[in-house]
Chain A
Amino acid sequence: MSFIIDYYNYWIVVFLMMAGFYIVISANNLVKKVVGLNIFQTSVFMMYISIGKVTNGSAPIVAEGITTYSNPLPHVLILTAIVVGVATTAVGLALIVRIKRAYGTVEENEFKDKDDLI
C-alpha cells in the first residue's frame, strides 16, 4: 500500500499528461486540441505541486505552533504559470477565431484542403 501511495500522484500525472497528449494528436477540432493542451499543462502543475508537498506539512504561511511547511518554491512557479497559461491559451483561441473567419471551419482536415484554393 505504501508503494502505491508513494507513486500514485505521479501515475495520475502521467495519465493526465497522456490524456491531454492523445487529445492533441487525435482530435480534429482545434478548440478540442486547446482543451487537450490545457489538460497536459495542468498535469505538469500537478507534478510540481506534488513534488513540493511534505507529509504532515502545512501551507507555507507562518503561523504559531507549526514547524513543518511544504515547499513554497513550486507554488510560486505554478501560480505564475497558471496566469501565463490562460493568457497564452487566449492567444491560441484568438488564432482559432481568425482561422474560422478565413477558412469557415476549425476542423483540421477541412482547412488543410482549402489551403490550396486560397
Chain B
Amino acid sequence: MAVFIDLMLLGMLAITALRVIFLKDLFAVVMLFGIYSFLSALIFVNLDAVDVAFTEAAVGAGISTVLMLGTLALTGRKEKTNNHKSWLPLLVVVATGAALIYGTLDMPPFGDPNNPAQQHVAPRYIQDSPQEVGLPNMVTSVLASYRGFDTLGETAVVFAAAIGVFSLLGLPKRDRAAIESGLKSHLVLRVVAKLIIPLILLFALYVQFHGDYGPGGGFQAGVIAAAAIILYALVFGLPLATHVLQPSLLKVLAALGVLIYAGTGVVSLFLGGNFLDYNVLASDPIAGQHLGIIIIELGVGITVFAAMLAIFYAFAGQAERKNIP
C-alpha cells in the first residue's frame, strides 16, 4: 500500500512540475508551486520523514508562496512569450537526464536495509541516541546535539539571508497608518483570522517545546509563528502588523537567536567541555543534554521566526510603497 501511494504521489508531483514549464500565467505557476510543496510534504510523510514534511508544508506551501506572490505584485503576473530557440535547452536537458537515469541504475535498490547509507552512522544514531541524549525523537537529537555545529551554521545562514533582504529592500517604517491596506472589508476573513491566529501561535509553541518528543522543533515552530503574524498582516494590513511587532524589534530578535545558540556553545566551553557539548551544562549528562537542546532550539526558533517575518515585512513594504498615491 505504501508503495502504491508513493507511486501515485510521485507521479502527481511530476505532472505538476511538467505543467509549470508550459504555463505563462505566473500567478498560476506560483499556485501550482504551492500544490507541488504540499505534494512533496505528503511524500515525505510516506517516506517516514515526518519532521521534514512538517517543515516543507509550513515553508514551501506557506512562506515561499507568500513571498513569490509579493514579488509578482511588484513585477507583474504575465510572462512574455520568448523567441528563444527552445530546442537547444531541450537537447541539453534530455542528454543530461539520460546520463543521470543511466547513473541511477548503479544506485542501491530503494528501501533495502543493507544499503550503504544505512550502514555508516545511522545505526549509532538509532541505537545509542535514546540513551546518550535521552530524547525519543532521533531527528532532534542529531539536529541539536550530534550535529549541533552544523545547525549553528544553518541558523547563521538564515540570519545572513535576512540581512541580505534588508539591505536590498529595506524595512517598512512604522507610521504609515493612513495607507489603505489589507482586506479589512472582508468580514468573514476578519472573523476567521481572529479565531485562528491565537490557535496558530499556540500550536507554534507546542511544536517548539514538544520537538524533543514528537515531530517538530525550532525551525518548524519559527516558521509557523511567522505564518500566524503574516496572516494577520494580510488580513488586517501591514501598518497594524508593524504596530504589533515592530521591524526594529525583529532585527534584534534575529540576532538574539543566533547569539543564544552560539552563547550556549561558549558557556559549555567555559564549563570545561567542547563547544556545544551539553553534557557539562548540568550535573547529570542527560539533564545537560535536555537543557542544552531546549535552549538552542529556542535560539533557532527565535531567529527563524524573526528572519521569516522580517523578510515578509520587507516585501510587503515594497508593495505598500507602490500603493502610495
Q: Is the pairing of A and B real?
A: yes
A-contact bits for B135-169, CB 8 A (1 contact / 0 none): 01111011100010011001001100110110011
Q: A82 touching B60 by the CB < 8 A rule?
A: yes
Choice from A21, A62, A68 contacting B96 with Cβ under 8 Å: A21
CB pair A49–B44 under 8 Å, yes or no, is yes
Tell me how far the C-beta of B126 lies from the nearest C-beta in chain A, rounded to whole angstroms.
5
Q: Flag if B165 contacts A28 (CB, 8 Å).
A: no
Once bound together, how far apart are the Cα atoms of A28 and B79, in whole Å? 8
B110 touches A79 (CB 8 A): no
Contact for A59 among B48, B76, B115, B158, CB less than 8 A: B48
Residues in B neighbouring A51, C-beta threshold 8 A:
115, 117
**CB within 8 Å of B: which A5-44 residues:** 5-12, 14-23, 25-32, 34-36, 38-39, 42
Binary contact readout A56-77 vs B (1 if CB under 8 angstroms, 0 otherwise): 0111111100001111111110
In the complex, are the beta carbons of A93 and B315 less than 8 A apart? Answer: yes
Contact of A46 among B43, B104, B315 (CB under 8 A): B43
For A76-118 the 0/1 string (1 means CB < 8 A from B) is: 1011111111111111011111101000001101000000000
Instruction: Give per-residue flags for B208-239: 1 if the beta carbon is below 8 A from chain A beta carbons, else 0.
Output: 00000111010100010000000000000000
Are B64's CB and A89's CB within 8 A?
Answer: yes
Within 8 Å by CB of A22, from B89, B130, B308, lies B89
In angstroms, how far is the closest chain A Cβ from the Cβ of B83? Answer: 8
Supposing A61-B215, A109-B82 touch, asked if A52 and B71 sit within 8 A by C-beta, the answer is: no
Among A16, A50, A71, A89, which residue has the most Cβ atoms of chain B within 10 A?
A71
Bound-state CA distance A23–B73 (Å) is: 21
Interface residues on A, range: 35 or more
In the complex, B7 has a CB within 8 A of chain A:
yes
Distance in angstroms from B99 CB to nearest chain A CB is: 9
B197 at the interface (CB under 8 A from A): no
Given contacts A15-B97, A69-B138, A86-B64, contact A91 B165 (CB under 8 A): yes
Proximity string of chain B (13-42) to chain A, C-beta cutoff 8 Å, 1 when within and 0 when not: 110011011000010011001001100100
Number of interface residues of B (CB under 8 A): 102
Chain B contacts for A106, CB-based, 8 A: 75-76
Bound form: Cα–Cα A80–B219 in Å: 7
Contacts of A71 in B (CB 8 A): 117-118, 122, 126
Instruction: Tally inter-chain residue pairs, CB-CB below 8 A.
Output: 285
A68 CA to B141 CA, complexed, in Å: 18
Our pick among A7, A36, A84 for the contact of B104 (Cβ within 8 Å) is: A7
B202 close to chain A: CB less than 8 A: no
Asked whether, in the complex, the Cβ of A53 is within 8 Å of the Cβ of B139, the reply is no
- Cross-chain contact A7 with B107 (CB below 8 angstroms): yes
Q: Which of A14, A57, A69 contacts B97 (CB 8 A)?
A: A14
Contact A10 B107 (CB under 8 A): yes
A55 to chain B, nearest CB (A): 4
Check: B5 CB closer than 8 A to any chain A CB: no
Q: Which of B47, B76, B112 contacts A70 (CB 8 A)?
A: B47
Could you show 15 A-B contacts with beta carbons less than 8 Å apart?
Answer: A7-B110, A15-B14, A15-B97, A29-B79, A31-B30, A32-B26, A49-B43, A61-B138, A76-B143, A83-B59, A86-B63, A87-B161, A87-B162, A87-B311, A97-B169
Residues of B within 8 A of A (CB): 3, 6-7, 10-11, 13-14, 17-18, 20-21, 26, 29-30, 33, 36-37, 40, 43-44, 47-52, 55-56, 59-60, 63-64, 67-68, 70-72, 74-76, 79-80, 82, 84, 86, 89-90, 92-94, 96-97, 100-101, 104-105, 107, 109-113, 115, 117-118, 121-122, 125-126, 130, 136-139, 141-143, 147, 150-151, 154, 157-158, 161-162, 164-165, 168-169, 213-215, 217, 219, 223, 304, 307-308, 311, 314-315, 318
